[in-house]
């Protein structure tokens, strides 16, 4: 998939993913996005860092459907949220000591599978029921979206 979406200041993106690799960017801008690397999943700010979760239990489930919802908050990675199978995750710094939250500058466009900079980090897998909302959805709303399939 190689699509782009216009990005507001706050947006909720929900999708199902079935993936086969452990080093990719599910959604990306020019230098940041939602990255899956070395058993970690979270927001990558283009500084080899990840603000997110240890998701090794999920990353080992190759080719199984997993529902992911993210709330992107423009210019505030710490305020952004991540939900796995409808459950909000407690995020923290997962990678690199020199984490730079000031580099979290979401572009006006995002790419599904990879980032806008080049063709690196494309997902080896499938996406389904990809939804973008120009607002923050609550955990209850995300559960309803997930169960609507």
Rounded to whole angstroms, the Cα distance separating 77 from 56 reads: 22
Predicted pLDDT of residue 69: 97
Q: What distance in Å separates the CA atoms of residue 28 and residue 32, rounded to the nearest whole number?
A: 6
Structure tokens at 84: 């796995």
pLDDT, position 3: 46
Contact 125, 21 (CB under 8 A): yes
> For the segment 73-101, what is each residue's pLDDT rounded down to a tens digit?
877 788 889 999 999 999 988 877 555 55
Closest residue by Cα to residue 87 from 121, 57, 62, 112 = 57
Residue pair 145/131 in contact (Cβ under 8 Å)? The answer is yes
The three-point CA angle 133-135-136 to 5° equals 105
Convert the pLDDT of each residue in 21-78 to its tens digit. Answer: 778 888 887 777 888 888 889 988 777 788 899 988 776 666 889 999 999 887 778 8
Residue 77 main-chain phi, psi, to 5 deg: -60, -35
**pTM reported for the whole predicted model:** 0.86
């Amino acid at each position: 998939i190689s699509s782009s979406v216009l990005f507001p200041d706050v947006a909720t993106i929900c999708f199902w993913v079935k993936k086969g690799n452990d080093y990719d960017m599910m959604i990306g801008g020019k230098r940041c996005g939602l990255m899956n690397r070395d058993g970690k999943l979270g927001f990558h700010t283009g500084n080899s860092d990840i603000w997110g979760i240890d998701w090794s239990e999920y990353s080992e489930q190759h080719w199984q459907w997993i529902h992911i919802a993210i709330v992107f908050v423009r210019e505030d990675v710490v305020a952004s949220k991540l939900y796995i199978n409808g459950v909000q995750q407690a995020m923290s710094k997962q990678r690199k000591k020199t984490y730079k939250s000031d580099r979290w500058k979401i572009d006006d466009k995002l790419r599904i599978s990879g980032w806008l900079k080049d063709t690196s980090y494309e997902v080896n897998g499938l996406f389904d029921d990809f939804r973008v909302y120009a607002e923050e959805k609550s955990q209850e709303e995300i559960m309803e979206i997930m169960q609507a399939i």
